[in-house]
């Protein structure tokens, strides 16, 4: 009798512990979702009053009395373009080497170690290195080019890894088929492997663009903070060698030294929407071309 | 015959080009390491190793300049440690929710939410911390230190704000890595535990999580790396004074020290900032190496 009582008591206690843990698990998941919802609602509410066509297409000027981020948008776009022009081919090339050419050995493990390490280095260190190496040693100073070269190193692992994953899903029969038909390795890569893994490559590129859009610490001491707009279309090229702040940098400056929180929230709203769209695009693409999904 | 030779040249050239692409990662890591050491070490010589690493006074612009970064190092360690202690349990329970508890519909809301949290730029976290967290902290500070005569009021920019922002920022990393390692635990293990009469919760906490331990630890170490390297967000909420890492003190971290002073520092001051960068780099490399060792260990276990 006594024994039975004790065991049923214990059972009861366990159930209480269980429900407490269930409650905590639900609470944590709920917290994460509410956090995101809160951030979105608050940023959009505070930013909505600032964001307008004028805000997006004009440059902040005391003389004209305008507040706008057109210059920062152009800088962001130029940095994305410059970075990806180099990062996409190099990242894909590295993945092709690792997956198609390299034989397992010392070089491969060193390259993989380096790629892993690179992806673990925080952006402030990239910024410091970019400032010292590209900015001072190579004499590029504070410029969009310095910023792009710095970001190139930062996003390289992202593209390499996504391409590698994509190349791994290309069936080996494609390769042996091509070899059997007499195609060389480069020909196979160019006409079969790269097209087959294009979705993975594009996903990597989109994710890298997302990283660049949100990046700030690596750009503060490399690309600088200028916000002027190139006056003519022809002035865009020399702009590469001039300082230019992206949207994130302007947000940081607006919220700290300039104390202009309306602009800061305006930029935050634009950035938030941009980053979400980029993420959604990457996700849709990945889902659409996922070969492992069940039909 | 001539065409064949042409093709061979192209093939060889392609091979070399791809190899060069792959080697760039090695070059990058080597030159970053080289620059961090080359620029970071002179300050140790000019200021002195003990004065620099164990000095507690930071007066870079004073007549008799002092460059002690002990408090900065301690702040980074304490901030990272506490934010991981705070963030990891929440992240782990969220991962459990995603993998073991939730039905498909709820997971379809929580999973993307976590991914989007990871995508939010750090300056936005900083801005929100500045606007929402700091005022609350200031009110708390006024309450707690109302009678204190020694406390320096910070207006709410303090260690606690930085820790809260950091623990939110590491959340997605830890959730994702933990969730995938929990998913990798064999179904048989769960079934066996349930068949022995354990409840679902008992199975999760006594069987599944221990089985996924190494993957979860990887997530925690990744989180440590992220917290240690975060710069912009915490620079906006942590204040700007070099202080002991107490909850309501305005503090500087290794990263925020670089962000806020690199722009104008000159001479020895600048050298010391590079030394701060080197210290940060050493910490990060230690975290990285631990991580790679753990991953390698996990691979060996599988095979």
Residues 6+ apart with CB under 8 A from B147: none
Question: A217, A263, A271: which to substitute to probe chain B, counting the most B Cβ within 10 Å?
Answer: A217
- Report the alpha-carbon distance of residue A283 to residue A285 in Å, rounded: 5
Q: Do residues A118 and B292 make contact, with C-beta atoms less than 8 angstroms apart?
A: no
Q: Rounded to whole angstroms, what are the CA distances from A147 to A256, B22, B130, B191, B289?
A: 21, 22, 27, 53, 27
Could B24 and A117 be called an inter-chain contact, meaning their C-beta atoms sit closer than 8 Å? no
Picking from A125, A213, A256, the nearest residue to B277 by CB comes out as A125
Could A31 and B22 be called an inter-chain contact, meaning their C-beta atoms sit closer than 8 Å? no
Rounded to a whole number, what is the distance in Å from the CA of B205 to chain A's nearest CA? 10
- Report the alpha-carbon distance of residue A232 to residue B109 in Å, rounded: 46
Residues 6+ apart with CB under 8 A from B60: B66, B67, B261, B265, B268, B269, B272
Measured between beta carbons, the chain B residues lying within 8 angstroms of A256 are 236
Rounded to a whole number, what is the distance in Å from the CA of A93 to chain B's nearest CA? 5
Q: Which residue has the tokens 């080289």?
A: B34
Mean of the pLDDT values across residues A126-152?
A: 94
Could B284 and A122 be called an inter-chain contact, meaning their C-beta atoms sit closer than 8 Å? yes
Picking from A125, A157, A186, the nearest residue to B280 by CB comes out as A125
> Quick check: is A234 in a domain?
yes
pLDDT of residue B247: 85
Picking from B94, B121, B259, the nearest residue to A32 by CB comes out as B94
Could B22 and A128 be called an inter-chain contact, meaning their C-beta atoms sit closer than 8 Å? no
Measured between beta carbons, the chain A residues lying within 8 angstroms of B25 are 94, 111, 114-115, 118, 156-157, 160
Q: When comparing pLDDT for B250 and A231, which is higher?
A: B250
Measured between beta carbons, the chain B residues lying within 8 angstroms of A216 are 121-123, 232
Structural domain count of chain A: 2
A169 shares a domain with A197: yes
Residue B240's nearest CA partner among B146, B145, B162, B168 is B162
Could B19 and A101 be called an inter-chain contact, meaning their C-beta atoms sit closer than 8 Å? yes
Q: What digits encode the pLDDT tens for the residues B214-231?
A: 999 999 999 999 999 999
Please compute Rg for chain A using Cα positions: 25
For residue A161, give the chain B residue with the closest CA: B22
Rounded to a whole number, what is the distance in Å from the CA of A9 to chain B's nearest CA? 16
Q: Do residues A128 and B62 make contact, with C-beta atoms less than 8 angstroms apart?
A: no
For chain A, give the mean pLDDT. Answer: 88
Domain residue limits, chain B: 41-302
Task: Please report, rounded to a whole number, the percentage of residues in chain B having pLDDT higher than 70.
Answer: 96
Could B114 and A31 be called an inter-chain contact, meaning their C-beta atoms sit closer than 8 Å? no
Please compute Rg for chain B using Cα positions: 24
Residue B86: both structure tokens together: 């705070």
Q: What digits encode the pLDDT tens for the residues A182-192?
A: 888 888 999 89
For residue B264, give the chain A residue with the closest CA: A221
Q: Do residues B23 and A111 make contact, with C-beta atoms less than 8 angstroms apart?
A: yes
The CATH number of the structural domain formed by B41-302 is 1.10.3720.10
Question: A13, A28, A260: which to substitute to probe chain B, counting the most B Cβ within 10 Å?
Answer: A28
Three-state DSSP at B59 gives strand
Rounded to a whole number, what is the distance in Å from the CA of A238 to chain B's nearest CA? 24
Residues 6+ apart with CB under 8 A from B191: none
Measured between beta carbons, the chain B residues lying within 8 angstroms of A15 are 199
pLDDT of residue B9: 86
Q: What digits encode the pLDDT tens for the residues A78-97?
A: 999 999 999 999 999 999 99
Count of alpha carbons within 13 angstroms of residue A2, beta-carbon side: 0
Could A217 and B114 be called an inter-chain contact, meaning their C-beta atoms sit closer than 8 Å? no
Picking from B11, B106, B255, the nearest residue to A186 by CB comes out as B11
> Quick check: is A209 in a domain?
yes
Picking from A111, A256, A275, the nearest residue to B26 by CB comes out as A111
> Quick check: is A294 in a domain?
no
Could A32 and B199 be called an inter-chain contact, meaning their C-beta atoms sit closer than 8 Å? no
Residue A32's nearest CA partner among B127, B232, B97 is B97
- CATH number for position A191: 1.10.3720.10
DSSP string, A141-171: -SSHHHHHHHHHHHHHHHHHHHHHHHHHHS-
Q: What digits encode the pLDDT tens for the residues B152-197?
A: 888 888 999 999 999 999 999 999 999 999 999 999 999 999 999 8
Inter-chain CB pairs, A–B, below 8 Å: 238
Report residue A51 CA to chain centroid gap.
24
- Report the alpha-carbon distance of residue B238 to residue A212 in Å, rounded: 25
A160 shares a domain with A182: yes
A153 shares a domain with A43: no
Q: What digits encode the pLDDT tens for the residues B48-97?
A: 888 889 988 888 888 888 899 999 999 999 999 999 999 999 999 999 99
Could A276 and B119 be called an inter-chain contact, meaning their C-beta atoms sit closer than 8 Å? yes
For residue A283, give the chain B residue with the closest CA: B112
Q: Which value does ipTM take for this structure?
A: 0.91
A240 shares a domain with A185: yes
Residues paired with residue B3 on neighbouring β-strands, in sequence order = none
Could B281 and A21 be called an inter-chain contact, meaning their C-beta atoms sit closer than 8 Å? no
Measured between beta carbons, the chain B residues lying within 8 angstroms of A97 are 18-19, 21-22
Three-state DSSP at A60 gives strand
**Other CB atoms within 10 Å distance of the CB of residue B17:** 15
Residue A114's nearest CA partner among B33, B18, B29, B293 is B29
A100 shares a domain with A26: no
Q: What digits encode the pLDDT tens for the residues B241-298?
A: 888 888 888 899 999 999 988 888 888 899 999 999 999 999 999 999 999 888 887 7
pLDDT of residue A236: 79
A105 shares a domain with A35: no
Q: Burial of A19 by CB count in 10 Å (0-12 exposed, 13-18 middle, 19+ buried)?
A: exposed
Mean of the pLDDT values across residues B12-28?
A: 93
pLDDT of residue B57: 87
Measured between beta carbons, the chain B residues lying within 8 angstroms of A89 are 21
- Report the alpha-carbon distance of residue A227 to residue B225 in Å, rounded: 32
A125 shares a domain with A7: no
Mean of the pLDDT values across residues A118-126?
A: 94
Q: Domain limits at A17?
A: 2-48
A214 shares a domain with A106: yes
For residue A126, give the chain B residue with the closest CA: B32
pLDDT of residue A11: 56
pLDDT of B237 higher than 80: yes
Mean of the pLDDT values across residues A211-229?
A: 89
């Amino acid at each position: 009798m006594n024994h039975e009582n004790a065991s049923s008591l214990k059972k009861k206690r366990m159930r209480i512990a269980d429900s407490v843990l269930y409650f905590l698990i639900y609470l944590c998941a709920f917290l994460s979702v509410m956090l995101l919802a809160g951030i979105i609602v608050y940023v959009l509410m505070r930013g909505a009053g600032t964001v307008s066509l004028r805000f997006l297409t004009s440059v902040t000027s005391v003389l004209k009395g305008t507040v706008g981020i057109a210059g920062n948008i152009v800088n962001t776009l130029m940095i994305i373009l410059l970075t990806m022009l180099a990062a996409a081919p190099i990242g894909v090339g590295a993945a092709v080497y690792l997956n198609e050419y390299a034989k397992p050995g010392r070089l491969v493990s060193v390259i993989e170690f380096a790629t892993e390490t690179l992806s673990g280095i925080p952006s402030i260190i990239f910024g410091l290195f970019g400032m010292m190496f590209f900015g001072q040693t190579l004499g590029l100073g504070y410029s969009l080019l310095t910023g792009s070269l710095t970001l190139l190193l930062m996003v390289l692992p992202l593209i390499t890894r996504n391409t590698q994953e994509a190349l791994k899903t290309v069936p080996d029969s494609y390769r042996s088929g091509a070899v059997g038909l007499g195609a060389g390795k480069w020909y196979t890569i160019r006409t079969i492997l790269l097209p087959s893994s294009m979705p993975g490559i594009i996903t990597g590129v989109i994710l890298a663009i997302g990283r660049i859009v949100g990046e700030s610490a690596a750009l503060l001491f490399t690309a600088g903070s200028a916000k002027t707009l190139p006056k003519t279309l022809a002035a865009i090229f020399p702009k590469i060698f001039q300082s230019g702040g992206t949207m994130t940098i302007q947000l940081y400056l607006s919220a700290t030294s300039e104390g202009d929180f309306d602009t800061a929230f305006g930029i935050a709203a634009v950035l938030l929407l941009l980053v979400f769209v980029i993420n959604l695009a990457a996700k849709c693409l990945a889902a659409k071309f996922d070969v492992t999904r069940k039909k | 015959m001539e065409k064949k030779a042409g093709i061979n040249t192209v093939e060889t050239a392609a091979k070399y080009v791809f190899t060069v692409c792959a080697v760039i990662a090695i070059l990058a890591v080597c030159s970053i390491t080289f620059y961090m050491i080359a620029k970071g070490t002179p300050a140790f010589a000019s200021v002195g190793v003990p004065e620099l690493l164990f000095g507690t006074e930071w007066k870079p612009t004073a007549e008799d300049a002092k460059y002690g970064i002990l408090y900065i190092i301690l702040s980074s360690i304490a901030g990272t440690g506490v934010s991981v202690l705070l963030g990891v349990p929440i992240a782990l329970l969220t991962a459990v929710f995603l993998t073991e508890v939730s039905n498909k519909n709820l997971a379809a809301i929580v999973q993307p939410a976590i991914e989007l949290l990871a995508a939010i730029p750090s300056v936005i976290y900083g801005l929100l911390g500045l606007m929402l967290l700091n005022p609350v902290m200031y009110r708390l500070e006024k309450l707690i230190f109302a009678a204190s005569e020694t406390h320096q009021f910070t207006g709410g920019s303090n260690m606690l704000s930085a820790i809260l922002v950091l623990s939110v920022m590491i959340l997605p990393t830890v959730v994702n890595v933990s969730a995938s390692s929990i998913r990798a635990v064999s179904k048989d293990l769960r079934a066996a535990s349930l068949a022995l009469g354990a409840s679902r919760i008992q199975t999760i906490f006594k069987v599944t999580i221990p089985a996924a331990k190494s993957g979860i630890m990887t997530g925690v170490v990744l989180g440590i790396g992220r917290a240690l390297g975060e710069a912009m967000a915490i620079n906006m909420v942590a204040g700007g004074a070099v202080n002991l890492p107490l909850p309501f003190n305005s503090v500087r971290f290794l990263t925020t020290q670089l962000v806020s002073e690199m722009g104008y520092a000159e001479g020895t001051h600048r050298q010391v900032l590079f030394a701060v960068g080197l210290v940060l780099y050493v910490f990060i490399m230690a975290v990285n190496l631990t991580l790679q060792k753990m991953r390698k260990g996990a691979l060996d276990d599988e095979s």
